[in-house]
Structure 1
Amino acid sequence: MADDLTERIIGAAIEVHRVFGPGLLEAIYEEALCHEFALRGLGFQRQVEIEVRYKDKLITGQRLDLLVADEVVVELKSLRVLPDVATAQLLSYLRVSGLKRGLLINFGESRLVDGIKRFSL
Structure 2
Amino acid sequence: MIDHNRLEEITRIVVDCGYHLHRDLGPGLLETAYEVLLTGLLQKRGLHVRRQVAVPIKYDGVVVDNAFRIDLLVEDMLPLELKSTERVSPIHAKQLLTYLRLMNLPLGLLMNFGQGTMKEGLKRVVNDYDGDFRQR
Q: Normalised by the shorter chain, which TM-score bucket?
A: over 0.9
Report what 2:43 is aligned to: 38
Report what 1:117 is aligned to: 123
Give the alignment's TM-score, normalised by structure 1: 0.94
Within the alignment, does 1:106 sit opposite 2:112 as a pair?
yes
Task: State which structure, 1 or 2, has the greater radius of gyration over its C-alpha atoms.
Answer: 2
Within the alignment, does 1:87 sit opposite 2:93 as a pair?
yes
Return the offset for 1:53. 2.2
1:23-70: CA deviation from partner (whole Å, max 9, x where unpaired): 110000001001111111111111111012232111122111111011
Q: CA RMSD in A?
A: 1.2
**CA distance in structure 2 between the aligned counterparts of 1:54 and 1:84, rounded to whole angstroms:** 25
Structure 1: stretches of 5+ with no match in the other structure? none
Structure 2: stretches of 5+ with no match in the other structure? 1-6, 128-136
Report what 1:11 is aligned to: 16
- Which contiguous aligned blocks of 4+ residues in structure 1 show a shift greater than 3 angstroms? none
% identity of equivalent residues: 38
* Aligned length in residues: 120
Report what 1:68 is aligned to: 74
